[in-house]
Amino acid sequence: MHLHILGICGTFMGSLALLARELGHTVTGSDQNVYPPMSTQLEAAGIELMQGYAASHLQPHPDLVIVGNAMKRGIEAVEYMLNQGLPYVSGPQFLAQHVLQGKHVLAVAGTHGKTTTTTMLSWILDQAGLNPGFLIGGVPLGFSQSARLGGHYFVVEADEYDSAFFDKRSKFVHYQPRTAILNNLEFDHADIFDSLADIQRQFHHLVRIIPSEGRIILPSGTPALEAVLTMGCWTRVERTALQNDPTAGWQAELLAADGSHFAITHEGIWQGTVEWTMTGNHNVANALVAIAAANHVDVPVSVACAALSHFGGVKRRMELLGEVRGVSVYDDFAHHPTAIETTLDGARKKFGSRKLWAIIEPRSNTMRMGSHRAQLAESARLADEVIWYQPAGMDWDLQPVVDAASNPAQVSQSLEDIVQQVQQRASSGDVVVVMSNGSFGGLHHTLLKALAESVR
């Protein structure tokens, strides 16, 4: 069967394309923004990519069009699809019908940490010999691709964003998980949700379909998630915590302040330790819920700890891109105030007194709408220098964020200006963290090239 995917280079749709290809289908796809790392792995899998959304991309007619949730009415390919009466489906529905049927699904939901936690859980099950299938909304460093069919178990990154322009339900309600991680919950996606209560309602739709013999795992002390459970819960719940918390059966004790070494206990009994290259309390918390979820499918905690001790991480999650003249440049996906804060907290604990630069593009729909503007200055307070990028077309001015900052901060409307500033002012030992959920105009590699050419 010939499948054509509209929006194929999105992290979810790109991974879905790999699964469809593995199922034996001929897969082609269109996207407005074709760029690595997703484009690289798709092309390596023999999937033809087309730039833009021309009607001609659907000629000759494919057997099925899989429509990404970035597609809207008025897009040429969408209008052609509807006018020609071509069969179409959302990505989550295709995944549910063609991949997840008959499998034990382990879903990872939450505002933050979904990609990293999904990768951790997939890695644990893989190292335990369970040959899991998985769909990860990013490019994992421990696997050759971001998705595979695998065996009986399937780990899926479960997003609360809507499924398609014709299906406004959250993606995760399609997946019917047996094991569900609810990692955290904050207001996000202001382009489709009006309030936190709207998102909580979608999370409860997920809770309502988890079997009574399944498992829900969530961190303790998360009021927004606890409120979801009070709407009705029919499944056993296990809680996790990073400190002595009598409500949490699973706990992690930091053995190193930066989170690079920690111990796991379950119901007060020591289970093992993890010593890895990851840092930050948020990653310890992600590891703990992944260990608990793996335990639900009978992976011993000792095996999970051993697996995480050589966990490779995920591209664009504090990924070191290079070090030039002693200046280290990292790429991170942070695009929400909490994610910015936790990323910089982990970096500060890892790098100590080294000068820390934060270069941030507020690119997500929620950021561009200004929904989190009041939290942004505080979220970046741990950096020694902050440069906020004001992209063209943004709905509000970033200058008040700079004015509210307690640390040195500025706004720049030019990528060239950002590169020039770092090139001229950064010194050996500095750490530069570039944060965006997009390509940021290739800033990362332009910056490394400029540093290499610098005479400093």
Which pLDDT score, from 0 to 100, does residue 2 have?
A: 97
Which pLDDT score, from 0 to 100, does residue 189 have?
A: 60
Task: Count CB-CB contacts under 10 A for residue 268.
Answer: 8
Which pLDDT score, from 0 to 100, does residue 190 have?
A: 65
153 part of a folded domain: yes
| Domain final residue, candidates 90, 120, 144 | 90
DSSP character for 100? Answer: I
Which pLDDT score, from 0 to 100, does residue 365 have?
A: 62
Q: Which residues span the domain enclosing 422?
A: 319-453
C-alpha pair distances (Å), 160 with each of 5, 69, 177: 21, 12, 14
Read off the CATH number of the domain in which 300 is found. Answer: 3.40.1190.10
Same domain, residue pair 136 and 194:
yes
Same domain, residue pair 435 and 338:
yes
149 part of a folded domain: yes
Same domain, residue pair 291 and 426:
no
213 part of a folded domain: yes
SS (HEC) of 278-315: CCCHHHHHHHHHHHHHHHHCCCCHHHHHHHHCCCCCEC
Same domain, residue pair 151 and 256:
yes
Read off the CATH number of the domain in which 46 is found. Answer: 3.40.50.720
Burial-class residue 392 by CB neighbours within 10 Å (0-12, 13-18, 19+): exposed
Which pLDDT score, from 0 to 100, does residue 431 have?
A: 93
Tally of structural domains, the chain: 3
What are the tokens at 395?
A: 């709905």
Kindly give the parts of the chain with pLDDT less than 50: 455-456
Contact 418, 359 (CB under 8 A): yes
Rounded CA-CA distance 246/278 in Å is 27
- What is the residue-wise DSSP string for 342-408? HHHHHHHHHHTTS-EEEEE---SHHHHHTTTHHHHHHHTTT-SEEEEE--TT-SS-SHHHHHT-SS-
Which pLDDT score, from 0 to 100, does residue 290 have?
A: 97
| Domain final residue, candidates 280, 308, 336 | 308
Same domain, residue pair 275 and 144:
yes
Which pLDDT score, from 0 to 100, does residue 38 have?
A: 77
Query: Helix, strand, or coil here: 316?
Result: coil
Which pLDDT score, from 0 to 100, does residue 366 have?
A: 61
Same domain, residue pair 229 and 284:
yes
Burial-class residue 337 by CB neighbours within 10 Å (0-12, 13-18, 19+): buried
Same domain, residue pair 230 and 297:
yes
Same domain, residue pair 259 and 360:
no
Which pLDDT score, from 0 to 100, does residue 368 have?
A: 62
Contact 17, 8 (CB under 8 A): yes
